[in-house]
């Protein structure tokens, strides 16, 4: 190696150390930046060049150090694991939240629940049997009956309002999914150009990974990397993003719970309306599961099934009370009169109404004022298949489903915390490690500078002082 090549070797060492310090500075500056992945300088030794001639030496050393690139220290397997866990967490969080809200509307057990209203309703019939034909207990009975029907209607309306709210939230999640997909496609184009030019695209890859995590939280899916630096993002087995191409999605289906049976809410490709996307996780999948129509077996969407349960309860309450009430006589001596009416134009829970307005329309006995019919109606709540047992089954079913969803959500959240923790332990910045790296590069820079100074002094002696001895 010539003396001049020694200067170049020292120079490459200075460049490498300086590059290392720059990367350490970038890491420290972004230690608290969400989604940032730590970076390292990749270097390699420059080998010696074979020389042939009278001035060549038998042995030679290398030509210094080469900066080969700036590596992003991410792990694709840990990233994929975190996305999968996040998709499950997003799905169960939506379901758990919806079930907790639904359970809260029941107000059971408590003095404001339908169970308490039923007890008051049956008790009013019992008082009516003991005071047949009297207006005061009749007024109490009618008041309790109206309160019960209003409570049933209110419960149904709360479910209907919650259904609309969940649909609106799901619509917002679809908008967020489209925004993330568009940004990923844009970043793919920029990353491909940057990689093709030989420059690092680490920060843009970090941004893209953050957006991919957002897509996973919303709709699950798979991320596939391509050799040109771009990625494919698949949901339901089809590409939401492929290279620089983004395929928009939309939320189709009814805007009303009542119409969801004929026109279910579903995620669709904007270019193929009516073609549903089968999601494997994410908040949108959770929302769609909650919004699904009732299927007649109790395994449909939680809200539609709860609404159907209210209708069943209202129908059975009216049917069982009317079956007994119609066998008695009212004040004018006629029979066959119902106590409850169901408006055929409305769902039973909303169409349940009290027919009598005063004591004259209430049947308390089979003849005169014997109170036998009122007593029979008062006992309805204690028999098998009563409205009370139907309501109890509804409440216990919703409670069990809510508890199950809560447990699944807790498990999914714990799994996500573990997966994200493993991801961060690999990719996040450790300030202690960076400080050690900073000292290492600092010493390397100082050493390279000393080598350059020494070589410079050797050259000065060779050029300016050789041959002066003896003059």
Please give the pLDDT value at position 286: 95
Provide φ and ψ at 332, rounded to 5°.
Answer: -85, 5
Please give the pLDDT value at position 324: 93
Please give the pLDDT value at position 283: 95
Please give the pLDDT value at position 63: 82
How many residues would you count in the chain?
471
Which one-letter DSSP state was computed for residue 226? -
Q: What is the C-alpha separation between 78 and 423, in angstroms, rounded? A: 5
Please give the pLDDT value at position 169: 96
Please give the pLDDT value at position 1: 47
Please give the pLDDT value at position 236: 87
**Per-residue model confidence as pLDDT tens digits over 118-153:** 999 999 999 998 888 889 999 999 999 999 999 999
Find out whether 299 and 181 touch, Cβ atoms under 8 Å: no
Q: Rg of the chain over CA atoms, in angstroms?
A: 38
Q: What is the C-alpha separation between 362 and 374, in angstroms, rounded? A: 9
Cα angle value 216/192/22 (rounded, 5°)? 90
All structural domains of the chain with their residue ranges: 3-73+429-464, 79-304+388-422
Q: What is the C-alpha separation between 271 and 239, in angstroms, rounded? A: 13
Q: Which of 41, 7, 6, 3 is nearest to 23 (CA)?
A: 41
Please give the pLDDT value at position 5: 72
> Which parts of the chain register pLDDT below 70?
1-4, 48-60, 368, 467-471
What is the model's pTM?
0.86
């Amino acid at each position: 190696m010539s003396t001049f090549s020694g200067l170049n070797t020292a120079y490459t060492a200075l460049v490498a150390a300086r590059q290392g310090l720059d990367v350490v500075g970038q890491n420290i500056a972004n230690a608290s930046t969400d989604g940032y992945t730590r970076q390292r300088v990749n270097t390699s030794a420059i080998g010696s060049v074979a020389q042939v001639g009278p001035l060549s030496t038998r042995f030679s050393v290398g030509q210094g150090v080469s900066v080969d690139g700036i590596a992003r220290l991410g792990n694709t397997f840990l990233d994929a694991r975190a996305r999968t866990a996040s998709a499950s967490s997003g799905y169960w969080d939506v379901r758990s939240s919806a079930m907790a809200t639904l359970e809260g509307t029941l107000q059971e057990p408590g003095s404001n629940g339908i169970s308490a209203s039923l007890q008051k309703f049956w008790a009013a019939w019992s008082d009516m049997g003991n005071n047949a034909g009297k207006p005061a207990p009749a007024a109490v009975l009618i008041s309790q009956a109206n309160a019960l029907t209003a409570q049933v209607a209110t419960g149904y309306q709360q479910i209907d309002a919650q259904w609309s709210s969940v649909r609106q939230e799901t619509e917002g999640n679809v908008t967020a999914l489209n925004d993330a997909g568009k940004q990923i496609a844009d970043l793919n184009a920029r990353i491909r150009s940057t990689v093709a030019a030989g420059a690092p695209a680490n920060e843009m890859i970090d941004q893209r990974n953050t957006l991919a995590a957002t897509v996973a939280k919303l709709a699950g899916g798979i991320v596939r990397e391509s050799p040109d630096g771009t990625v494919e993002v698949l949901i339901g087995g089809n590409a939401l993003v492929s290279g620089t191409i983004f395929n928009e999605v939309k939320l189709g289906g009814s805007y009303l719970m009542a119409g969801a049976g004929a026109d279910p809410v579903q995620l669709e490709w904007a270019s193929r309306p009516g073609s549903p996307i089968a999601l494997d996780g994410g908040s949108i999948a959770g929302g769609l599961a909650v919004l699904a129509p009732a299927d007649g077996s109790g395994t449909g969407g939680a809200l539609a099934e709860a609404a159907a349960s209210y209708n069943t309860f209202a129908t059975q309450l009216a049917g069982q009370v009317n079956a007994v009430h119609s066998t008695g006589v009212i004040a004018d001596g006629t029979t066959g009169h119902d106590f409850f009416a169901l408006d055929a134009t409305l769902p039973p829970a909303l169409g349940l109404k009290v027919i009598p307005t005063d004591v004259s329309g209430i049947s308390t006995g089979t003849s005169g004022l014997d109170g036998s019919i009122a007593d029979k109606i008062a006992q309805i709540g204690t028999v098998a298949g009563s409205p009370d047992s139907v309501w109890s089954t509804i409440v216990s079913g919703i409670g069990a489903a809510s508890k199950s969803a809560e447990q699944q959500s807790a498990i999914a959240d714990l799994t996500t915390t573990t997966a994200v923790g493993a991801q961060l332990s690999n990719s996040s910045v450790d300030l202690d490690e960076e400080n050690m790296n900073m000292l290492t590069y600092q010493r390397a820079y100082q050493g390279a500078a000393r080598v350059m100074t020494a070589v410079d002094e050797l050259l000065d002696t060779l050029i300016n002082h050789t041959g002066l001895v003896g003059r």
